[in-house]
């Protein structure tokens, strides 16, 4: 991966579907001197994603793609990424599953943040599942995206204690706070 680093920062796209707090955090990180990446494109599968507001706020190009037809959406997406010379992709709460064909085009250059200590709790509702199973710890993971959902090589993880009083909501809040520390750390780990 180190070979991607030239004089300029690595052109990165962030894919979102919701609030975009990780997107905002990555944008702020990208503006620091130590960041190897710049955020040049925001992709969302829905106009409803609140995180799209950061496109205006930070003057970053955005594109909303309708994934009703996956094939068409991914073809458009590939063109967009090419046009914008995107070299690296960060998924940040992106709730669509990318096809293996798409992933192959960006092999080893797509990473994702997931709200659990993978390989535990792939998929959705990670916090309620952890509480239901009376787990003592949960956490978050940044991993490479491969064809198999939430199963690519783990880059970095953070463990978080689950308290008796925790609810899925309180846990989500705690984990998200740690995600904001972990995602930049993962990127530094990859490129340094
Ligand atoms: C984050 O907790 C992220 O880990 C999770 O969605 C949230 C997005 O928050 N991602 C997944 O569940 C992916 N399977 P954000 O929109 O505020 O960054």
Atom nearest to 17 CA in ligand 1: 16
**Pocket flag, ligand 1, residue 38 (CB < 6 Å):** no
* Total Cβ atoms within 10 A of residue 14: 30
Cβ of 154 below 6 Å from ligand 1: no
pTM of the model: 0.96
Position 7 pLDDT exceeds 70:
no
Q: How confident is the model at residue 14 (pLDDT cuts 50, 70, 90)?
A: very high
118-148 confidence digits (pLDDT tens): 999 999 999 999 999 999 999 999 999 999 9
Please give the distance, rounded to the nearest whole angstrom, from the Cα atom of residue 115 to the centre of ligand 1.
7
Q: Which atom of ligand 1 is nearest to the CA of 179?
A: 4
Q: Is 113 in the pocket of ligand 1 (CB under 6 A)?
A: yes
Task: Single out the residue of 162, 169, 174 nearest to residue 134, CA to CA.
Answer: 162
The answer, yes or no, to whether any atom of ligand 1 lies below 6 A from the CB of 115, is yes
CA 24 to chain centre: 12
- Residues whose CB falls within 8 Å of the CB of residue 152, separated by 6 or more in sequence, listed in order: 112, 143, 144, 145, 146
Q: Is the pLDDT of residue 1 over 70?
A: no
Q: Is 192 helix (H, G, I), strand (E, B) or coil?
A: coil
């Amino acid at each position: 991966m180190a070979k991607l680093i030239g004089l300029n920062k690595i052109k990165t796209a962030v894919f979102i579907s919701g609030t975009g707090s990780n997107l905002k955090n990555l944008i702020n990180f990208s503006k620091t001197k130590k960041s190897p990446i710049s955020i040049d494109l925001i992709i969302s599968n829905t106009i409803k994603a609140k995180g799209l507001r950061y496109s205006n706020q930070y003057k970053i190009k955005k594109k909303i793609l309708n994934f009703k037809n996956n094939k068409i959406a991914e073809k458009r997406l590939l063109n967009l990424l090419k046009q914008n010379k995107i070299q690296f992709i960060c998924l940040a709460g992106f709730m669509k599953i990318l096809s293996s064909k798409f992933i192959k085009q960006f092999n080893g250059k797509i990473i994702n943040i997931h709200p659990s200590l993978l390989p535990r709790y792939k998929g959705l509702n990670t916090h309620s599942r952890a509480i239901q199973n009376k787990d003592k710890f949960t956490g978050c993971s940044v991993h490479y995206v491969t064809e198999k959902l939430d199963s690519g090589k783990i880059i970095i993880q953070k463990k978080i204690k689950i308290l008796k009083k925790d609810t899925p909501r309180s846990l989500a809040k705690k984990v998200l706070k740690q995600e904001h520390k972990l995602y930049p750390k993962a990127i530094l780990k990859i490129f340094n």
